[in-house]
Every structure is written in structure tokens, then in C-alpha cells.
Structure 1
Amino acid sequence: MLFGIAWDTSSGWAFAISILPILLRGLVVTIQATVVGFFIALVVGLVWAALKAAPLRIVSWPAAIVTEFLRDTPLLIQLFFLYYVLPEYGIVLPAFMTGALALGLQYSAYTSEVYRAGIEAVPRGQHEAARALNLKGMRTFTHIVLPQAVPRIIPAMGNYLVSIMKDVPLLSVVTVLEMLNVARIIGDRTFNYLIPLSMVGGIYLIMTLIASAGVRFLDMRLPKRGIPLK
């Protein structure tokens, strides 16, 4: 029994039905970690992209070094650092937020490159037209460049969304009860790993298919042409 839920191990189907509620609780944690981590990756990645595009090297170089570090070091090391090292300096975060932050920071290094590619794909004529209309640099970036870059990077961002979702099980090392960790605990207590792990694999397959379909829908719906300047 886990979280007050009894498991019927008399048959395969009965066992699967009895553990489904607790797996769904783990699924909620998995989805929450995916959403929070992806949101952090999107926001911080855009910040890294803007800093690396800055004309001043004193701004662009540190951002490039940090993103390279995040990209070239394992997620587990970053996760352990946030969870075990930061408390030594008085910074204590809940296990869930630690995991989501680690996911977001790791993938922000990748999304920053996606943003960069999307921004560079915007025709230079759009920048020149904005300057001709005397638009400030920030307004040009937020109202002209970014709206045209985002539709171009939807497929790549969708791939990272799926990747973050599949990396959530790593959060089990800092005691986050996401879906795979719950399945492992069920297996430890019932000595039946096949059914819970198979169910988790099936649920992950369904989630990735739904996420991929959503990304394709957005990719087809969002316009990719330049926007007229008025």
C-alpha cells in the first residue's frame, strides 16, 4: 500500500487497475515538472539569446560561457549541485522546484541556440524597415523580430519539450515522486516490475504523441511570413 491505496496482485489486470490511481498521481507531478521546466527554459533561453547577441563583449562572452557550461555538463551534476551544494550556502529549495529549475537551466542553453537561429532567419529587410520607421531597438526586437522568429522555431522547441518530459524521471534522485519513481516503489514492494514499468512506458508514449501532435498543429497554424510594418 502506498498513499493509502491497496494493490490487488491476484491477477495482472486487477493489479494494473489497482495501481493506476497512484501512477496518475505521479503523472500529475511529471506534467507539472515538464511545464515548469519548459517555461524556465523558454524564458531563460530567450535571455541568454539576447545577451549573446549584445554588441558588447563584456555582456555576450559571459552569457556564451554560461550556456556552454550548462550544455556541456550532465544534468545529474547540475541537479546534485542545486540540491546538495546550495543548502551549504543557505539556499534551500524544495525538491520539486530544484528539479524543475535544473531541467529549465539545462535546456535554456539549447533553447537559446534555437532562438538565435530563429532570429537570424528573420529577413534583414525587416530590421532596416524598422529603423526607417525610427523604431527603437527593443521595440523592433519585441514587436517585429520576435513575432516572426517564434513560428520558425516551434518544431525545435517541441522537440525540447518532449526531451524535458523524458528527462523528468531523473528527478527521482532528489526524492521527487514523479511517475517512474512511483512505479519503481511499487515494484520494490510487490516484486512485480513488469506491469508498473510497462504502464509508465505506455503513458509516456501517449504523452509524447499528444505533445508532438500539438506542436505540429501550432506549426501549421502560425504564419511564417514577414509581417507588414505600419
Structure 2
Amino acid sequence: MLFGIEWDTSTSWAFAWSILPILLRGMVVTIQASLLGFFVALGLGLLLASLKGVPLKIIAWPAAFITEFLRDTPLLIQLFFLYYVLPDYGIVLPAFLTGALALGVQYSAYTAEVYRAGIQAVPRGQKEAARALNLSERLTFIHVILPQAVVRIVPAMGNYLVSIMKDVPVLSVVTVLEMLNVAKIIGDRTFNYLIPLTMVGALYLLLTLVAAWGVRVLDTRLPKRGIPLK
């Protein structure tokens, strides 16, 4: 029994049906961690990309260093640092929030490069036209460059969403009960690993297919000339 749910090990189908509710609970945790981590990666990645594009080297170089550091260090080390080191300095976060932040911080280094590529893909004439209209650098970036860059990077960002989703099982090392951790606990208690692990694999396949389909739909429906801002 786990979370008050009993399972029947008499037959394979009965066993699979009895553990499905608890696996679905783990799937909800997986989805929540994936989305929270993805939004953190989007926000922090945009910040890093913006700072790297600043002409002042005293700002651009530290942003570039942070990006390289995050990209070149393992996710597991960053997760352990947030979960075990920060409490020594009085910063204690729940395991779930720590894990989602670790995913977001790790992938922000990759999304920052995607933002940079999208921004550089915007024709230079767009910026010159905005300058001719006497728009400031900030307004030009927010209302002219960024809306056109976003539509160019949707497929790449979708790939990172799927990657984050597949990295969520790493959070099991800090006791987050996502799908794979739940399946392992069921296997430990029933000595049957085949069925729960197979079901987790199928659920992950379903999640990634749905995410990929949603990204394709979003990519086809976004206006290619940029997102209109009012």
C-alpha cells in the first residue's frame, strides 16, 4: 500500500490496474515539475540572453560566464547544491520546489542560447527602423525584436520542454515522488518491477507526444511576422 492505495498482485492486468492511480499521481507531480522548471528556464534564459547582449563588458561577461557554468556542470550537482548547501545559509526550500528550480536553472543556460539565436535572426533593418522612429533600446527590444524572435524559437523551446520532462526522474534523489520514483517504490514492495516500469515508460511516451504535438500546433498558429503587442 502507498498513499492509502492497495494493489492486487494476483494477475498482471489486475496489478497494473491497481497501481495506475498512484502512478497517475506521480504523473501529476512530473507535469507540475516540468512546467515550473520550464517557465523558470524561459524567464531566467531571457534574462541571461539580454544581459549577454549588453554592450558593456562588465555586464555581458559575467552573464556569459554564468551561462557557461550552468551548461557545463551536471544537473545533479546543481540539485544537490540547492537542496543540501543552501540550508546551511538559512535558505530551506521544499524538495519539489528545489527540484523544479534546479531544472529551470540548468536549462536556462540552453534557453539563453536559443533566445540569442532567435534575436540574431531578426533582420537588422528592424532595429534600424525602430531607431528611426525614435524608440528607445528597451522599447525596441520589447516591442520589435522579441516578438519576432519568439516565433522563430518555438520548436527549439519545445524540444527543451520535452528534455526537462525526461529529466524529472533525477528529482527522486531528493525524495520527490514523481512517476519513476513511485514505480521504484512499488517494485521494491511487490518485487515486480516489469509492470510499473513499463507503465511509467508508456506514460512518459504519452506525455512527450502530447507536448510535441502542442508545440507543433503552437508553431503553426503563431504569426510568422511576430507576435502583435498592444
TM-score, normalising length from structure 1? 0.98
Aligned to 2:161: 161
- Secondary structure, in 3 states, of the residue corresponding to 2:177? coil
1:227 deviates by 8.0
Deviations 1:15-38 (CA, angstroms, capped at 9, x unpaired): 000000000110110000000000
Q: 1:55 to 1:170 in 2, by over 3 A?
A: same
Aligned to 1:151: 151
- Secondary structure, in 3 states, of the residue corresponding to 1:8? coil
- Mapped pair 1:206 → 2:203: no
Q: Structure 2: how far apart are the matches of 1:215 and 1:8? A: 38
Aligned to 1:5: 5
1:176 deviates by 0.3
Aligned to 1:221: 221
Aligned to 2:77: 77
Q: Structure 2: how far apart are the matches of 1:82 and 1:155? A: 30
1:89 deviates by 1.1
- Mapped pair 1:110 → 2:110: yes
RMSD over aligned Cα, in angstroms? 1.0
1:226 deviates by 6.0
Aligned length: 228
1:150 deviates by 0.3
C-alpha contact 1:23 1:182 (8 A) present in aligned 2: yes
Letter in structure 1 aligned against 2:187 = G
Q: 1:227 to 1:214 in 2, by over 3 A?
A: closer
Runs of 4+ in structure 1 off by over 6 angstroms are none
Structure 2 runs not aligned, ≥5 long: none
C-alpha contact 1:122 1:145 (8 A) present in aligned 2: yes
- Mapped pair 1:195 → 2:195: yes
Q: 1:127 to 1:4 in 2, by over 3 A?
A: same
Q: Structure 2: how far apart are the matches of 1:10 and 1:141? A: 62
Q: Structure 2: how far apart are the matches of 1:222 and 1:94? A: 37
Q: Structure 2: how far apart are the matches of 1:148 and 1:182? A: 42
Deviations 1:33-90 (CA, angstroms, capped at 9, x unpaired): 0000000000000000000000000000001001100000000000001101111111
Aligned to 1:38: 38
C-alpha contact 1:144 1:227 (8 A) present in aligned 2: no
Deviations 1:101-160 (CA, angstroms, capped at 9, x unpaired): 000000000000000000000001100110010011111111110100000000000000
Q: Structure 2: how far apart are the matches of 1:212 and 1:32? A: 17
C-alpha contact 2:183 2:200 (8 A) present in aligned 1: yes
- Secondary structure, in 3 states, of the residue corresponding to 1:177? coil
Alignment of 1:79-158 (within 5 A): 79-158=79-158
Structure 1 runs not aligned, ≥5 long: none
- Secondary structure, in 3 states, of the residue corresponding to 1:4? coil
Q: Structure 2: how far apart are the matches of 1:8 and 1:24? A: 17
Q: 1:84 to 1:116 in 2, by over 3 A?
A: same
C-alpha contact 2:151 2:227 (8 A) present in aligned 1: no
Aligned to 1:14: 14
